[in-house]
Amino acid sequence: MSDLQKAWAKNRLSALPPESFDEMEEDETDRVPELPEHFDDDSSSASSASSTGTVIPSPSQNLFARPQGAPRGRSLQQIPWTTYFERELFLHDPSSPTNPTIHAYLNSPVGKGPLFVMHHGAGSSGLSFAVVGDEIRKRLPSAGILSLDARGHGSTTTAPSSEPLGLSLETLAADLLSTILMTQKEMKWSELPPIILVGHSLGGAVVTELAKTGKLGNALLGYAVLDVVEGSAIDALQSMHTYLSTRPPGFPTLEAGIDWHIRTRTIRNSLSARTSVPALLTLSDGVGDPRPWKWRTDLGATQPFWENWFVGLSRKFLGARGGKLLLLAGTDRLDTELTIGQMQGKYSLQIFPEAGHFIHEDLPEKTAISLVDFHKRNDRSALVLPPKVSDLLKQGKKV
């Protein structure tokens, strides 16, 4: 700085009034300002900022606390059916003493909402559709869900008999129809709601059989079949005994059974496994048994019915009245008849290659989206029909 500049600055400063020194003010100036309170923000902009900046935890945050709600991750805790359904039903037709007491789970439809009627596969139970049913109602709140345990499965019981359990396709389809009609009576519905039938594996054959009979009349909007086609199903039966021989005969705890299904990727979604697997097992009375949790359904004993379940399935699927949806885990499962039908536009087809055989349990959200879209495409209440010619003539209008 030159002498001239120094002299100018000195004259300017001497003209200013003297400033008193405040110790408290000086202390406040030197103090680091308090950090703003942190608010969780999972938006993309907040995530980007936190990934590049320095995150300073506030005293009010417990960074290492577990999230609230249902335990996730590797938790093997059972999830009760009341998490997903409003009620359970025990339905019995007294017209015959041999009729089973059918156990079913229900969420009633709201207003004129549709009723999705679910039928599980062999060895499974009605809780197989618990999570996907919940996802359906998130997207279509007026929808109802009715999911039953087939005879010989879950909590459905039959009268003691010396004869082997009857699991023919015709019997199972009759049970499904009876379940729907008894639910209507139990819930005092004046008429059946619009119905979408949904079946997985064996359940797909059952809903197709019921659709083919036409006994639901105009109440049936359509039916969806999950990961079963005639050709691949019959081929798979040849290796069924091998699969059953490699399956554990029992488990030491219920959690061990859930863990086995997740570890072997039989069910690839832990929430689904924790919900559905407990209904597949029952605690035996054997004293000292290291594996007291046994399979509730003896799949080996169902062998006499295997071919009856699937022979002619493709023809019936294509021929029955109503909308048709086929969800598969791979295109290799399509047989010739279904391939031709798909090319002719006779049904809707969706492939989920990332899923296993239990598509609806592995990918409940995607399955729910497909089923809700399927209902919307077949919803007759959304149709606006043109006026009748006779009505126009009565109104004096020219046609």
Residues catalogued as catalytic: 201, 227, 357
CA distance 235 to 240: 9
Location of structure tokens 């109440």: 219
Element (H, E) at 87: strand 87-92
Residue from 268, 234, 235, 258 nearest 356 by CA:
268
Distances in Å between the alpha carbon of 160 and those of 4, 165, 305?
117, 10, 20
Token pair, residue 386, equals 């043109």
Contact 146, 116 (CB under 8 A): yes
Contact 377, 145 (CB under 8 A): no
CA distance 39 to 283: 48
Residue from 310, 312, 276 nearest 123 by CA:
276
Does residue 85 sit in helix, strand or coil?
coil
Location of structure tokens 């086995």: 260
CA distance 342 to 331: 12
Token pair, residue 95, equals 């017209």
Cross-strand bridge partners of residue 197: 117, 223
